[in-house]
Amino acid sequence: MSIDPYAWLEQSLETIHRADWYRSVQTIDGLCGATVLLEGREVINFASNDYLGLAGDRRLITAGVAATEKFGTGSTGSRLLSGHRELHRELEKAIASLKQTEDALVFSSGYLANLGAIAALVGKRDLILSDQYNHSSLKNGAILSGAAILEYPHCDITVLKNQLIEQRENYRRCLILTDSVFSMDGDLCPLPALIDIAAEFSCMLLVDEAHATGVMGKTGAGCVEHFNCTGKQLIQIGTLSKALGSLGGYVAGSATLIDFLRNRAPTWIYTTGLSPADTAAALAAIEIVQQEPQRRSQLWENVAYLKKLMQEQVSELKLLPSESPILCFQLPTAADALKAGKYLKDAGIFAPAIRPPTVPTSRIRISAMATHQPTQIEKLVDALREFVNY
Ligand SMILES: *Cc1c(COP(=O)(O)O)cnc(C)c1O
């Protein structure tokens, strides 16, 4: 008897289709920005993490091209072998200066920064407490570490505290994991309360600033700055691929933490260093974040305008609570969310449907950019109003 050992793949895909969970890529053409060519048609882009509009900025492009000319396309090895360049160190110093931390370490992506840091910091004898809405990279980092994992209900400090009262003494080290801006909801973690709890129960606290860096806080340092927690002992993770318009991730914190991770984080040690182009582009982006606060003010003006128009004109669409440029409204089913996404796309608006298993409930996710014009925001709200009446 021979059964095709791969036959389950097709059955599995059929199940995904039946649940309206099937996903496929959509091709974007041309330079990224507030408008993009989506499958050949120009649409207004509300689907991008490029909050400050830097991914298409001439200065980042020039920096990337210049670094490629000077150093080549690849970094050719892991940082500990042949892949380390002074440019990497410059970027790490720039991140540490933005974050006001002693040091920082650059990874090849934010996902890898989370996997590597979490796996290095805790193991079998330890406990992880994790917000139920945390990003996939935090969840998988927790699994990779081998530590015991307890999820707490979204932002629920009371449950977290009770879990610690009951469980803390059974473990050696304890690590609390949280997104700072929740990536599929747009709300913020209760950072000051988390810092207090971490101190009370002698836990490490890791905050993922992926959607906050460049966006939140007076200088764009992130939610830690937004909550006036700069200088507190924390493990800050982030990405170079969202507001910073490049590719890569980082950990920022104490010099000891960073020195330890260089010796113990498997996703840093056993992977190729960041390419010269990505490194130089991110470095140029951090400079712009620090020197052009008006980009951040413009982003927040756009967020306020969008929220105001939506409340005035499409109050039927219930926005999830958000304190970030990420605005979501829920729809009853995955099929409804797909329909809404398709309707908007036909109206020239790119705002994707987000469905399970990424999130528990289906929604349309809108992200504002500093480079959106008021007329583009008005067009989005016009399209939403037509959708509601449709
Ligand atoms: C996007 C994201 C990441 C992953 O960052 P990449 O650099 O894209 O790998 C990690 N955490 C959160 C919360 C994110 O939103």
Q: Is residue 3 part of a domain?
A: no
What is the 3-state secondary structure of 18-71?
A: HCCCCCCCCCEECCCCCEEEECCEEEEECCCCCCCCCCCCHHHHHHHHHHHHHH
Q: Which residues contact 23 (CB under 8 A, 6 or more apart)?
A: none
Reported as a single tens digit per residue, the pLDDT across 10-19 is 999 999 999 9
Residue minimizing CA distance to atom 7 of ligand 1: 110
The predicted model scores a pTM of 0.96
Q: Calculate the average pLDDT of the chain.
A: 96
Task: Record the tokens describing residue 124, joined without a space.
Answer: 């079998």
Shared domain check, 320 and 249: no
Q: Is residue 11 part of a domain?
A: no
Q: The domain containing residue 370 runs over which residues? A: 19-48+293-388
* Other residues' Cβ atoms within 10 Å of the Cβ of residue 298: 18
Shared domain check, 117 and 225: yes
| Domain CATH number, residue 252 | 3.40.640.10
Atom of ligand 1 nearest to the CA of 181: 13
Shared domain check, 216 and 329: no
| Domain CATH number, residue 339 | 3.90.1150.10
Residue 45 to residue 386: CA distance in whole angstroms:
18
Residue minimizing CA distance to atom 8 of ligand 1: 110
Residue minimizing CA distance to atom 2 of ligand 1: 210
Shared domain check, 217 and 274: yes
Contact call for residues 175 and 122 (beta carbons, < 8 A) = yes
Shared domain check, 353 and 214: no
Reported as a single tens digit per residue, the pLDDT across 53-68 is 999 999 999 999 999 9
Please say which residue of 240, 269, 291 terminates a domain: 291
Q: Which amino acid is at 157?
A: I
Q: Which residues contact 123 (CB under 8 A, 6 or more apart)?
A: 145, 146, 147
Shared domain check, 349 and 243: no
Atom of ligand 1 nearest to the CA of 183: 15
Q: Provide the pLDDT confidence category of residue 2 given band limits of 50, 70 and 90.
A: confident
Q: Tell me whether the omega of the peptide bond preceding residue 352 falls within 30 degrees of 0, making it cis.
A: no
Shared domain check, 68 and 36: no
With DSSP H G I counted as helix, E B as strand and the rest as coil, what are the percentages for the chain, rounded to 5? Answer: 45, 15, 40
Atom of ligand 1 nearest to the CA of 138: 11
Specify the number of domains making up the chain.
2
Three-state secondary-structure class, residue 232: coil
Which of 154, 239, 279, when mutated, tests ligand 1's pocket best, judged by the most ligand atoms within 8 Å of its CB?
Answer: 239
Q: Is residue 31 part of a domain?
A: yes
